[in-house]
Amino acid sequence: MNQLLLIPIVAFAKLLTLALRASGWGSGTALPGYLVGRYFPFVLKALVSQIPVVVAITGTNGKTTSQTMLSAVLDQAPQAKVLRNKAGANLSQGILSELLKQSNAVGRLDFTHAVLEVEEATLPRIARLIKPNIIAVTNLYRDQLDAYGEVDRTEKLIRDGIAQCPTAAVVVNGDDPRTSRLTQGLENATYFMSLAPEYARFLPYEGKLNSRVPDSQGLEATNIHINEDLTTDFSVQGQINSERVNLPQAKTVSPGFFHVYNALTAIAIAHLLGIDGATAIAGLKAFKPAFGRGEILTRQQGDKQVNYRLLLVKNPASFSLSLELLRNIPSLKLILAINDNTADGKDVSWLWDSELERLNQANIDWILCTGIRAKDMAVRLKYALDVPPGPIPAEESIRQAIDSSFKKVGSGDTVFVLPTYTAMLEFRKLMGKTLDVL
């Protein structure tokens, strides 16, 4: 009976998505799933149960990048057909909207794997319904206090989600003291992703850095080198079940030590799915940064071409790590785009917990603040910088910020943009990029 009901429900969802896009009111990444999930709650389970392997990826930072990396690896495997919620719609309605969009007219899905980014607080409900085969947790930082409260609550929500899937393999950040303890007392087989201690100690975890247990299940990255173009080289060694893993030459185009964890997560999950190391390395090589996560957008007028490299910031940890990454950029040209919409977090006091003082070690050409909270960002910089590079403009209009920055630089230059989530979406849209083209 439920299978017959899927036909009109899927038809409604597809028509609604088309109507939203045609009207310009939205892209259909949430509303169809919200309505269907509210009135026909059986649909999510009915759809996802058709996919043999389901991977859920959660955590504060790195969900989208880990998902995109793993999808790139799976794309290298023969016969693999991957479904993912690639627009970053990681609430239950976003996941259901993607499933509805990808199903055929009678509600059938032809995929071998689902790789789903799942928002932290959504994991308990999603895990209960879809029973993922593998759950990955990237890290746990303080994020949007007005949405989640203290990080202890987020940790409990994720643990509750894992506990509902006792047969799921769990891949966690083994250096983060919060994620490394998530499965203590649970039955789940757990695999720990770590950086060699000389690199991990620079990450701003809450609490004492977890020490890797020798011969524990998992992977460790060594010989990490961030190149001038911000690509990252590293080696991988470790053990997954009874097999040794040794990959002396791995590479990712996502910049920074923190993205190496995402690569390790993709490699480990691939290994659990029976994909060899060479295929995983080839997938990472083919990987392109997810929207706003190291992505490069180009603006051209006549013979002048300027590159804008987007590094999403959403909490003190991601902001501080991105600033650390920029310290060695010669003649740094920087736009800080800060919004306080619901998806960004209405409370912007996190700007004061971010280590803007790291910019004092950078070779700054100029800084421009933009977005709804441009003036707040400019005030924070006033206290952070020992010697500001001249007056710091605060232009609330992101469009004006793009125009003025374009005029300030020469052809071939790169401007680094550190935006919050909705500021990133607006920046991309003004540059002619939308989620729908992914």
- Pair 109, 37 in one domain: yes
Q: Are 42 and 48 in contact (CB under 8 A)?
A: no
Does 1 have pLDDT greater than 60? Answer: no
List the domain range (segments joined by +) for residue 372: 293-436
Please give the C-alpha separations between residue 81 and each of 10, 102, 171, in angstroms, as whole numbers. 21, 12, 22
pTM for the model stands at 0.90
Instruction: Identify the pLDDT of residue 437.
Output: 37
Does 395 have pLDDT greater than 80? Answer: yes
- Pair 225, 262 in one domain: yes
Q: Would you state the torsion angle of the CA atoms of residues 275, 69, 342, 373, taken in this order, to the nearest 10 degrees?
A: 160
Task: Name which of 24-28, 37-41, 110-114, 328-332 the model is least confident about.
Answer: 24-28
Instruction: Identify the pLDDT of residue 136.
Output: 98
Provide φ and ψ at 277, rounded to 5°: -60, -40
Instruction: Identify the pLDDT of residue 205.
Output: 87
- Pair 179, 54 in one domain: yes
Count of Cβ atoms closer than 10 Å to residue 220 Cβ: 23
> Is residue 110 classed exposed, middle or buried when 0-12, 13-18 and 19+ CB atoms within 10 A define those classes?
exposed
> How does pLDDT run across 50-106, given as a tens digit for each residue?
999 999 999 999 999 999 999 999 999 988 999 998 766 888 999 999 999 999 999
Burial 304-313 (b: 16+ CB within 10 A, else e): eebebbbbbb
Q: Which band of pLDDT confidence, cut at 50, 70 and 90, is reported for residue 373?
A: very high
186, HSE (Cβ side, Cα atoms, 13 Å) = 21
Name the more confident of 27 and 349. 349
Give me the CATH number covering residue 65: 3.40.1190.10
> How does pLDDT run across 205-258, given as a tens digit for each residue?
888 888 777 778 999 999 999 988 889 999 999 999 989 999 999 999 988 889
Active site residues: 347
Sheet holding 414-419, edge to edge: 293-301, 304-311, 414-419, 332-337, 364-370, 394-395
Give me the CATH number covering residue 390: 3.90.190.20
Instruction: Give me the residue label for tokens 């989620």.
Output: 435
CA-CA distance, 169 to 418, in Å (whole number)? 34
- Pair 266, 303 in one domain: no
Q: Which band of pLDDT confidence, cut at 50, 70 and 90, is reported for residue 305?
A: very high
Instruction: Identify the pLDDT of residue 147.
Output: 55
The count of structural domains within the chain is 2
Does 44 have pLDDT greater than 70? Answer: yes
- Pair 351, 235 in one domain: no
